[in-house]
Amino acid sequence: MRILVTGGTGYIGSHTVVELINNGYDVVVIDNFSNSKPIVLDKLKEITGKEIKFYEMDLCDSEKLREVFKKEDIDAVIHFAGYKAVGESVSKPLMYYRNNIDSTLSLLEVMSEFNIKKIVFSSSATVYGDPEKLPIKEDAKLSTTNPYGSTKLYIEGILKDLYVSDNTWSIAILRYFNPVGAHKSGLIGEDPNGIPNNLMPYIVKVANKELPSLNIFGNDYDTSDGTGVRDYIHITDLANGHIKAIDYVINNVGIDCYNLGTGTGYSVLEMVNAFKKTNKVEVPYNIVGRRDGDIAACYADPNYAYEKLGFKAEYGLDEMVESAFNYAIKNSKK
Ligand code: NAD
Ligand code: UDP
């Protein structure tokens, strides 16, 4: 079985490529390096012992994409490619709509032409907006508060319409909670450009003395210690969720959405304390005002993914914070 992985040199894509190869799949990767680096391909070879078949191209380029589908005997697709920074999407909405939606339309059109109708799509827990009930189930009300989230919600809608028009498609929509950590080798991990927006990469840079201190956005939420609560999931667990999903779409038709989370929420302070304790480092912080658009708490009901796909997260908080720091130390640009 040969899987096309779009955005396969990115954070989640690269970890998924490793697990696909570990599970005996052939992999073809497309990426335009808009948010990743060519060196990831060398690291993937080092980890897996396999040369990765790779096309550097923009997924919006349907002509080039047709060439890839002509050359490679693709059985199914995992579609990661897209822009993902919430704040940037607010300042550059057209860039986000153009890239995320155009690339998906181009992919789905070319897949239809080649009669390849099996796809796993990267959605996000952001489509739940400010949840009315916790833990969040897949049938919760959907809403978004920023253009990035809207692109995910629109693409979910496009996939649903596509399935209604042709029910020979097999589509798994994966709603990720908060992926963190890195592969155990320390060769691949999360490497955001500039000052990170997300909590874990920020903590890592503070611990590594690349940034002076963490700003904790609010300690007056209605949570156990007042700081925001999220469902952090180890990147290797998340990658393994894709193996379960691709196995499922290869063997079944239909469309469905699945939460990929652990079901446990941790507060910002719990994350900071776990990081300090496990890695034996200091993480100085200041409590500042709430960040615009943030919600108090968000964690998954992970049962549907378990019942239907057999997916259950295995790694705990210690492994998340340990692997995140291990990658940072091995790849520090200090
Ligand atoms: P990432 O930025 O590390 O990876 C995305 C990859 O897609 C990058 O390598 C980028 O170069 C590539 N890409 C972007 N546009 C492209 C295009 N037009 N053509 C070809 N390649 C293109 O992001 P990630 O964290 O690995 O996320 C993967 C997917 O999961 C994204 O769709 C993201 O929105 C979604 N997601 C991520 C998170 C998270 O916290 N990381 C949470 C929920 C959902
Ligand atoms: N957070 C924080 N300081 C930071 C980055 C994030 O206090 O520098 C908090 C944020 O308010 C939220 C949690 O950490 O409660 C997770 O934020 P992140 O941006 O990683 O994920 P998201 O909010 O998108 O779920």
Distance, in Å, from the CA atom of 308 to the CA atom of 300, rounded to the nearest integer, reads 15
CB distance 295 to 231 below 8 Å: no
Active site residue 148: yes
| DSSP letter for each residue of 90-158 | HH-HHHHIIIIIHHHHHHHHHHHHTT--EEEEEEEGGGB-S-SSSSBPTTS--B-SSHHHHHHHHHHHH
pLDDT digits (tens, 9 = 90+) for 95-118: 999 999 999 999 999 999 999 999
Parse the chain into domains and list their residue ranges.
2-181+232-261+301-314
**What is the structure's pLDDT at 329?**
93
Helix axes 102-113, 62-71, angle to 10 degrees: 40
CA of 280 to the centre of ligand 1 (A): 31
In the set 148, 202, 221, 315, the catalytic residue is 148
Task: Report the nearest-CA residue for atom 44 of ligand 1.
Answer: 124
Contact 266, 101 (CB under 8 A): no
Q: How does pLDDT run across 120-130, given as a tens digit for each residue?
A: 999 999 999 99
CATH ID of 2-181+232-261+301-314, from 3.40.50.1370, 3.40.50.720, 3.30.910.20, 3.40.50.360: 3.40.50.720
Over residues 51-100, the pLDDT tens digits come to: 999 999 999 999 999 999 999 999 999 999 999 999 899 999 999 999 99
d(CA 40, CA 81): 15
Please tell me the distance from the alpha carbon of residue 195 to that of residue 327, in angstroms, as a whole number: 17
The per-residue pLDDT for range 217-244, each reduced to its tens digit, is 999 999 999 999 999 999 999 999 999 9
Predicted confidence at residue 192, as pLDDT, reads 80
Find the residues whose C-beta lies inside 6 A of ligand 2. 178, 197-199, 202, 214-217, 228, 230, 268, 291, 294
Supply the pLDDT for residue 334: 58
